[in-house]
Structure 1
Amino acid sequence: MGRREQLTIDERELISRELSKNRSARFIAKALGRHHSTIAREIDRNGGEKVYRAVDAQVRCDALRARPKERKLVASPTLHDAVNAGLAEKWSPKQISERLATDHPDDESMRVSHETIYECLYLQARGELRTQLTVTLRKGRTRRVNRSRTTVARGRIVDMVNISERPKDAEDRAVPGFWEGNLILGKGNRSQIATLVERATRFVMLVRIPYDRNAEKVAYLLARKMETLPDFMKKSVTWDQGKEMARHAKFTVATGMPVYFCDPHSPWQRGSNENTVSVGGSPTRVDRPG
């Protein structure tokens, strides 16, 4: 029998729920169809029965899996040159990825996802790729932030892109896919929900952020929610300067959606979100978390 895949976020959420009911690792393993030792190790490595949290366990798992290795665009000069040629033509990473699949249908070595291209552009820009950042991302932002640096420096979120650089298509609300987001805190700041309002349709999505508003967790959960949308609905997100969005680059790498930040103390720049989600607002449709 082949080795089972790693636990999924849904399985981890079930573990968390069952632990809150004082279920044993053997009981949970049987419910998931897993070996009890797998569940026991999962619980132990994430703090034990009393502190186990599904999202925290998933974030830890993702971080451990991201082991340093030679990137595909570095390992293959031919693929690197093909991507660079697309950047020079001002194609987006997604256009480049699709074009490569069309031009090289029988050559798996000439395939690269748009997420991989975005990751190289944002986090690992080197040599020729660095010279193409401006024309590809259309933001004039070429500086790379080293992973060893703190995300928030001198009270500011690193590499914020101001709302003034948001595409003009977002202004007249004629084209869907431009979102406005905010974080609503519960009583005593003990709970929080991220709200996302689409500017053209006023469609609302609510994303529960359990236990705390750690920026790593917020980026992960927002990206996971965006995965449920069709591509034409994923153009950008506008947010205030709350530190919960400090990992905006990670969110962009995962979704391909740039994040634009409002000016300080300017809630009207996210008017759709403020008016729709605030008390007394009446959203047309709300997609509540499961």
Structure 2
Amino acid sequence: MPRWAHNKMPTATKKRYFELLRQGYKGAAAARVVGVSTSCGSLWFLDAGGMLVPDSGPVSPRFLTQGDRIAIADGLQAKQSVKAIAASIGKSFQSVYREIKRNSKPDGRYQPWWAHNQALLRRKRPKTERIRAGQPLRALVREKLRDKWSPQQISRFLRRTYPGRQGMQVCPETIYRALFAGLLGRKPGKLRTGRTRRKPHRRGVPHLNKIKNMTPLAQRPLEVNERRTPGHWEGDLIIGRGQGSAIGTLVERVTRYVRLIHLPSGWKAPQMRNALILQTADIPPELRQTLTWDQGREMTLHEDIAALTGFQIYFCDPHSPWQRGTNENTNGLLRQYFPKGSDLSHHTARDLRQIARELNHRPRLVLGDRTPAEAMRTWITQASTR
């Protein structure tokens, strides 16, 4: 028999043979079912490493399956490029390159059943977590957490302090997992952030609630950044206790002039639209040029707002509050009147006008100790005399 003659059978036949073995068939019985000799089946089995690791299925769609590895092997046999193979199985070509390099046999051949066995063996984690097994390590991590160290700081400290002792080193992810699993005692207060469970991450996953037809901040006129002419506003919401109430905040970028938006009926998109239209109607048209907001769902009807107020509305990048720095600073000042955790529904429209008046008549260093009201009045006077 020529060398590797047992590999001349179709891939589908081999696949069925290994499926039968995983179902509990003996080698001879599986060989009879697929129509090959027992010795041929035995050669297949030996070529796959002489073992079949139990496969519970991929833990995530990003992992390669047995079928993916068979497709890779068939593509290599057909002399296809790695990029073509990756496209056919819906993976990145980098993943396929790593797969071939990592799971090829010692002689350089890529055998899909061997490769799948190797991947399953690496996936198994029979060892006990270091933090669970090592009392000194666990005590040291607890001590650093009590001192308000972050898991990253603890991990770096362990590498510096115990350079040759793997048993006294852990990565930040291990500390997080142990903390959220309860291996480090009671969870509340263990992290500086106060979090007691992991925050969900959506890396690379498009957000289903993205606001339609947003104009990104990058398209806002550059002159707005120079703060030379007024009429460019930043806006946001201050949320009350239990997210049961809210107040809208507007601040003009040049004069730091503040307007507070009363939202007695809530702050969903229709209520927000109506409140902004009604409560900014008295602002002179020349001072209603741009409005910068975050990507909150309350601005879903931004096109209506722009059409009825004259504002050109621009949206910040996600999780980028510094792009509305003036508004964020103003919200911090407003917390003197609206403490976090308080019920904001108690404040009437009259209350909000009084609070805005106090803030607008407070001298600001950035304005040369003038008040926002004085700065705004100066601009309005200059505009009317031109």
Please report the TM-score for the alignment, with normalisation by the length of structure 2: 0.33
Structure holding more strand per residue? 1
Greater radius of gyration (CA): 2
* Structure with bigger RCO (C-alpha 8 Å, 6+ apart): 1
